[in-house]
Amino acid sequence: MATIFIGIGSNLGNREDNCRKAINLLKENGIAVKKQSSTYETEPWGVKEQPKFINMAIEAETNKKPEDLLGILKNIENQMGRTKSVKWGRRVIDLDILLYDDLIVETPHLEIPHPFMHEREFVLRPLAEIAPDKRHPVTGKTVREMAANLRQ
């Protein structure tokens, strides 16, 4: 079983319910959720003229390969009503693979670790709550260190 970390966000509809529903759908798809962060209301990143987000992170275990896991996340997003729109725009739900064990993956469709996680407080803050000592497989920094660097 691989240990994975998934970032979850929503800024449309009942944002907290959307995040909870996504977690339940992950469980229904064989993802064993082990830890769940609190929810954090955050400013939009990229496209500023949109509602605030609710963000959180989970730690889970899976026997799915990274590409298969990505397919599950995309199916859940579609099932919950996410539609293609402006990059970094409004969304009912956003599910991102942040880390997958200590794997480094670079394909046209998938990058692990998430390529922007070290730049985003809305990712690092909830992740630091559940996995402060987890190390980024490329930089070697802990989640706690990356989060502290953003605040400087």
Residue 79 CA, chain-centre distance (Å), reads 17
Domain holding 45, by residue range, is: 2-114
**Is 76 part of any domain?**
yes
- C-beta of residue 63 within 8 angstroms of C-beta of residue 1: yes
**Is 137 part of any domain?**
no
Q: Which of 17, 90, 91, 151 is catalytic?
A: 91
Q: For this structure, is 17 an active site residue?
A: no
pTM: 0.93
What share of the chain in percent tops pLDDT 70? Answer: 92
**Is 22 part of any domain?**
yes
Both tokens assigned to 146: 């990356």
HSE of 4, CA atoms in CB hemisphere, 13 A: 28
Q: Which of 15, 94, 120, 125 is catalytic?
A: 94
**Is 24 part of any domain?**
yes
- C-beta of residue 54 within 8 angstroms of C-beta of residue 90: no
Type of residue numbered 78? N
SS (H, E, C) 44-96: CCCCCCCCCEEEEEEEEEECCCHHHHHHHHHHHHHHCCCCCCCCCCCCCCEEE
Both tokens assigned to 96: 């991102």
pLDDT in tens, 62-97: 999 999 999 999 999 999 987 776 565 678 899 999
Residue 83's CATH number: 3.30.70.560
Q: Which of 20, 68, 96, 125 is catalytic?
A: 96
**Is 10 part of any domain?**
yes
Q: Which of 17, 68, 82, 133 is catalytic?
A: 82
**Is 21 part of any domain?**
yes
**Is 44 part of any domain?**
yes
Q: For this structure, is 82 an active site residue?
A: yes
pLDDT in tens, 45-63: 777 778 899 999 999 999 9
**Rounded Cα distance, 8 and 97, in Å:** 9
Total domains in the fold of the chain: 1
Q: For this structure, is 96 an active site residue?
A: yes
**Is 71 part of any domain?**
yes
Pairing of strands 94-100, 53-62: unpaired
